[in-house]
Amino acid sequence: WMLANSNVLVTWCFDQSESMKDDQQEIRSRIRHVYSELGLVGQTNNDALMTAVTSYGQGYLQHTKRPTSNVEEIEAAMDTVPVDPSGKEFMCQAITLSIAQHLKYVKQGQRQMALIVVTDESGERKGNLELLEQAIATARDAKCRIFVLGREAVFGYPYAHMKWKHPFTGHVH
């Protein structure tokens, strides 16, 4: 939809929690198909959609040195998203950093910008309260559209129940 108007830079920003590993792999396994469907694999104009990969937990990581249209590089970058054992998820900080670090590529290439946050939680409450307005202002100033992909939608309930299989013991919780 955005590609119909101009070139686009999309940044994938992954939550580093262990509960997101399977979602990350699912997205990674479909990236090539998405690029193919858009007609961007093997084309001479394949830089119409540039992609960057970042992730966050207690800290923030950039997994692509610079945005790329190379599907193998995108897949390899997604493979390097670690699991953060701290359990912290500083989402608003990651949004602000992801946009700020990639804004120069947007301006250089006269591109639209989209940020896709992949998470199953809203992040650290304190961090959200302190940095939410800054993240919104950064996105607004950069004219960056933000999309959030997540699994559970608990409709305001404080708890969600999900089945989880321990990767080492095989026990189901």
Q: Is 57 helix (H, G, I), strand (E, B) or coil?
A: coil
Residue 155's pLDDT is: 53
Residue whose structure tokens are 């396994």? 29
Residue 156's pLDDT is: 52
Residue 42's pLDDT is: 57
Q: From CA 33, how far away is CA 39, in angstroms rounded?
A: 10
Evaluate if residue 43 carries a pLDDT over 60: no
Question: Which two structure tokens, joined as six digits, stand for 132?
Answer: 């939410």
Query: Dihedral sign, CA of 101, 70, 11, 20?
Result: negative
**pLDDT (tens digit, 9 = 90+) per residue, 89-147?**
999 999 999 999 999 999 888 899 999 999 988 888 888 889 999 999 999 999 999 99
What mean pLDDT is predicted for residues 25-31?
90
∠ CA 146-1-66, rounded to 5°: 55
The residues facing 11 across adjacent strands are: 52, 115
Residue 112's pLDDT is: 95
Question: Which two structure tokens, joined as six digits, stand for 3?
Answer: 């590609």
Residue 65's pLDDT is: 93
Residue 56's pLDDT is: 96
Average per-residue pLDDT for the chain = 88
Evaluate if residue 59 carries a pLDDT over 90: yes
Residue 159's pLDDT is: 63
Residue 53's pLDDT is: 98
What angle in degrees, to the nearest 10, is found between the helix axes of 71-79 and 21-37? 180
